[in-house]
C-alpha cells in the first residue's frame, strides 16, 4: 500500500521503480484538495499503469453537480429543477420553480455545507443560505426544488457491463419534527447527533418491482453518461408523488468494508473479496488490452 498525502517527484520515481501490474486507486484527495483526485488518475494514465476506478475526466466532471445535472437532463435522466448562483450574484429564481428549495455547494461532497437551514421556504431564507455557501465555500450555490420523498443510494459495479447492487434507502423516521429529512453534514459525521442516529440506511430497500427496475435503469444510465468505470454510487430522491430524480453521481464512493457500497454488495450476495477481485480483474483486463494494442504495432 502506498499512502499519498502530498504530491512529490518521489511519487513518480516510486511508481516507476515498483512498476505495478495495476494500481487499486483509492485516492480521494491529494495536497488536501478533493478536486485534485483526478490528477492522481491522470498521473497513472501518463505513466501507462492500469488502475481501478474512473478516469480523470469522469472524476473531474462529477465534482461539479450543476454540470452533471445538465448532462443528465440532456440525456433524458430526470434531476430536480434548479439553478446556480455565483458569488456576487443574488438569486434569480426561474419562473415556475417552487418552494421549498434546497441550497448546497455545487462543488463539494460528503454533505459539506448541508445543514438544517439548507431547506428554504422563503426568498429571504434562500438569499441567506446562498450567501452562507458563497462565504464559507467560496463557490457557486446550487439551488434545487426540494424533493420531499424517499432517498436511495444506488451502487453500480462493472465497466462494459455494469450491474446494480442492492438498492439502499435512508430511513428518516425518528428525526425530530423540526429537522428537515435530509442527509446533512451532521447526519453523516456527528455520531452523537439525532441527525446521525435517525438517518439509517436500510439495504435492501423494500421496493415494488417496477420502481426497483426504474431506479436500476436510472443508475446505469447516469453512471454511463458521466463515464464512470468499475464502481460508482448514484444518489437519488423521489418527489412527493414518487417520481425519481438523480441528486448526484459519485464515481469514487467509499468502498471500504463498512461503507454503503460494500453493504449493497453483501445484500446482493457478494462477499467483500468478490467485489474487490472483480474490480481488480476489470482494471487488469483493461491494462492487457492497452498493452495488446501497443504491442500490435
Ligand atoms: N434537491 C434535493 N431535495 C431534497 N434533498 C436533497 C436535495 N439535494 C440534496 N439533498 C439532500 O442533501 C444530501 C446531500 O446532497 P448530495 O447532492 O447528495 O451531496 P453530497 O455530495 O454532499 O452527498 C442528500 O443525501 C439529500 O438528503
Ligand atoms: Mg450524496
pLDDT in the model for residue 290:
61
Q: Is the CB of 237 under 6 A from ligand 1?
A: yes
Residue 101 near ligand 1, beta carbon < 6 Å: no
Q: How many residues does the chain have?
A: 297
Chain-centroid distance, C-alpha 14:
30
d(CA 111, CA 79): 18
Q: How does pLDDT run across 12-51, given as a tens digit for each residue?
A: 999 999 999 889 999 999 999 889 999 999 999 999 999 9
Q: In the predicted model, what is the mean pLDDT of residues 233-241?
A: 97
179 lines ligand 1 (CB under 6 A): no
Cβ–ligand 1 distance for 146 under 6 Å, the answer: yes
* CB of residue 143 inside a 6 A radius of ligand 1: no
- Residue 163 dihedral angles phi and psi, to the nearest 5°: -125, 140
What percent of the chain shows pLDDT beyond 70?
A: 97
Query: Residue 285 and residue 282: Cα distance in Å, rounded?
Result: 5
The distance in angstroms from the start CA to the end CA of the chain is: 34
The grid coordinates listed for 212 are 426497483
- Ion ligand 2, residues whose Cβ is below 5 A away: 235
Distances (CA, A) of 229 to 55, 58, 79, 248: 7, 9, 21, 16
Q: Is the CB of 75 under 6 A from ligand 1?
A: no
Superfamily covering domain 28-78+148-167+203-297: ATP-grasp fold, B domain (3.30.470.20)
Q: Give nearest CA residue, ligand 1 atom 22.
A: 111
How many other CB atoms are there within 10 angstroms of residue 151's CB atom? 21
Write the CA distances from 211 to 86, 98, 157, 206, integer angstroms: 36, 25, 20, 10
pLDDT of residue 42: 96
98-105 average pLDDT score: 98
Question: What is the C-alpha separation between 217 and 79, in angstroms, rounded?
Answer: 14
Q: Which atom of ligand 1 approaches the CA of 183 most closely? A: 27
Contact yes or no for 58/88 (Cβ under 8 A):
no
For residue 33, how far is its CA from the centre of ligand 1 (angstroms)? 21
Q: Cell numbers of 69, please?
A: 445535472
Distance 291 CA to ligand 2 centre (A): 36
For residue 99, how far is its CA from the centre of ligand 2 (angstroms)? 21
pTM higher than 0.85? yes
* Tens-digit pLDDT profile for residues 178-216: 999 999 999 999 999 999 999 999 999 999 999 999 999
Question: Residue written as cell 455565483?
Answer: 86
CATH architecture of 81-146: 2-Layer Sandwich (3.30)
CATH 3.30.470.20: which residues of the chain? 28-78+148-167+203-297
For the chain, counts of helices (H) and of strands (E): 10, 10
Nearest CA to 208 among 242, 171, 165?
242
Cα gap 20→67, rounded to integer Å: 35
| Contact (CB, 8 A) for 53 and 25 | yes
Phi-psi group of 266: left, alpha or beta (phi > 0 → left; psi -120 to 50 → alpha; rest → beta): alpha
Question: Ligand 1 pocket, 183 CB below 6 A?
Answer: yes
Of the bound ligands, which one is closest to the alpha carbon of residue 237?
1
Q: Which residue spans of the chain are classified as CATH 3.30.1490?
A: 81-146
Amino acid at each position: 500500500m502506498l499512502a499519498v498525502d502530498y504530491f512529490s517527484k518521489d511519487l513518480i520515481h516510486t511508481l516507476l521503480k515498483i512498476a505495478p501490474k495495476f494500481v487499486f486507486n483509492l485516492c480521494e484527495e491529494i495536497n488536501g484538495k478533493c478536486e485534485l483526485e483526478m490528477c492522481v488518475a491522470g498521473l497513472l494514465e501518463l505513466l501507462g499503469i492500469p488502475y481501478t476506478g474512473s478516469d480523470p475526466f469522469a472524476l473531474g466532471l462529477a465534482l461539479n453537480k450543476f454540470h452533471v445535472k445538465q448532462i443528465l437532463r440532456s440525456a433524458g435522466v430526470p434531476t430536480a429543477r434548479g439553478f446556480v448562483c455565483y458569488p456576487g450574484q443574488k438569486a434569480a429564481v426561474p419562473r415556475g420553480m417552487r418552494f421549498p428549495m434546497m441550497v448546497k455547494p455545487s462543488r463539494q461532497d460528503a454533505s459539506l455545507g448541508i445543514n438544517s437551514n439548507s431547506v428554504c421556504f422563503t426568498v429571504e431564507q434562500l438569499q441567506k443560505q446562498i450567501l452562507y455557501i458563497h462565504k464559507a465555500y467560496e463557490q457557486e450555490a446550487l439551488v434545487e426544488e426540494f424533493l420531499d420523498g424517499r432517498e436511495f443510494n444506488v451502487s453500480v459495479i462493472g465497466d462494459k457491463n455494469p450491474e446494480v447492487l442492492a438498492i439502499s434507502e435512508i430511513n428518516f423516521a425518528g428525526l425530530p419534527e423540526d429537522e428537515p429529512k435530509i442527509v446533512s453534514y451532521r447526519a453523516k459525521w456527528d455520531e452523537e447527533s439525532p441527525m446521525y442516529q435517525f438517518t439509517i440506511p436500510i439495504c435492501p430497500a423494500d421496493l415494488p418491482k417496477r420502481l426497483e427496475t426504474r431506479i436500476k435503469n436510472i443508475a446505469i444510465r447516469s453512471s454511463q453518461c458521466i463515464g464512470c468505470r468499475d464502481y460508482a454510487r448514484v444518489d437519488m430522491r423521489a418527489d412527493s408523488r414518487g417520481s425519481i430524480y438523480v441528486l448526484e453521481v459519485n464515481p469514487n464512493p467509499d468502498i471500504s468494508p463498512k461503507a454503503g457500497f460494500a453493504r449493497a454488495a453483501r445484500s446482493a450476495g457478494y462477499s467483500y473479496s468478490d467485489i474487490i477481485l472483480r474490480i481488480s480483474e476489470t482494471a487488469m483486463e483493461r491494462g492487457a488490452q492497452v498493452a495488446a494494442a501497443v504491442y500490435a504495432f
